[in-house]
Amino acid sequence: MDTAKLDKAVDYFIDQIKFIHASGGGNLILEEVKCDVYNSKMRIKELGTVNSLGAGAYVVNLWDMTIAEEVKKSIMNSINLNANVDGGTLKVVFPAPTQEKRLELGKLVSKYAEDCLIAIRNIRRDEMTQIDKDFKEKIISEDQKKTLENKVEDVIKQFNKKVEELKGKKIIEINTI
């Protein structure tokens, strides 16, 4: 069984949840904010560096401070946070989420995990359909069919377990104060 499609589904899930945060991770979110500067859309990480000041506060050191106001507007529009221009830097503070917000973020992670598990089930179904087709066309024997089905099931279980572990870790991260 080729696991490339399964890897792609899990990677997509990881990409979806990496920007969901409760306390940390603001630098990853800020780095990916797209800004309309120099007649194109550029991410903040292409325009400067983002460093943590601790307690949900971050500083954006732009290489060209003439674009500070555009970057400030982009931060406000994309992640709905105010940035303060202070000399040669932008300062952004991520507020601590309420318990209600943490529950909402946990539900969002669970939704993304379920979407990934559905994609994995669809891949499993396609593999099983191909095995049945090969068996009916007498390309493989009944023993080979059972062996292939068992291999597919084992691989699918591994990927399902991986998604559940990632989901669990992310929910714990969200609920850790």
All domains in the chain, ordered by first residue? 4-16+98-175 (1.10.132.20), 24-93 (3.30.1360.40)
Which of 9-13, 15-19, 43-47, 60-64 is the most confident on average? 9-13
Mean pLDDT of the chain: 88
Measured between alpha carbons, how far is 20 from 26 in angstroms, rounded to an integer?
Answer: 9
This prediction has a pTM of: 0.70
**Secondary structure of 90-148 in the HEC alphabet?**
EEEECCCCCHHHHHHHHHHHHHHHHHHHHHHHHHHHHHHHHHHHHHHCCCCCHHHHHHH
Measured between alpha carbons, how far is 43 from 31 in angstroms, rounded to an integer?
Answer: 6
The pLDDT of 3-20, averaged and rounded, is: 90
Measured between alpha carbons, how far is 86 from 38 in angstroms, rounded to an integer?
Answer: 22
* Phi and psi based region of residue 20 (left: phi greater than 0; alpha: psi -120 to 50; beta: remaining): beta
Task: Specify the pLDDT at position 15.
Answer: 87
Task: Specify the pLDDT at position 144.
Answer: 95
The pLDDT tens digits for 106-147 are: 999 999 999 999 999 999 999 999 999 999 999 999 999 999
Task: Specify the pLDDT at position 129.
Answer: 96
With bands split at pLDDT 50, 70 and 90, how would you rate the model's confidence at 78? confident
Q: Which residue has the higher pLDDT, 26 or 85?
A: 85
With bands split at pLDDT 50, 70 and 90, how would you rate the model's confidence at 66? confident
Q: Is residue 96 pLDDT above 80, yes or no? A: no
The pLDDT tens digits for 27-42 are: 778 888 889 888 999 9
Using only C-alpha atoms, what is the Rg of the chain?
22
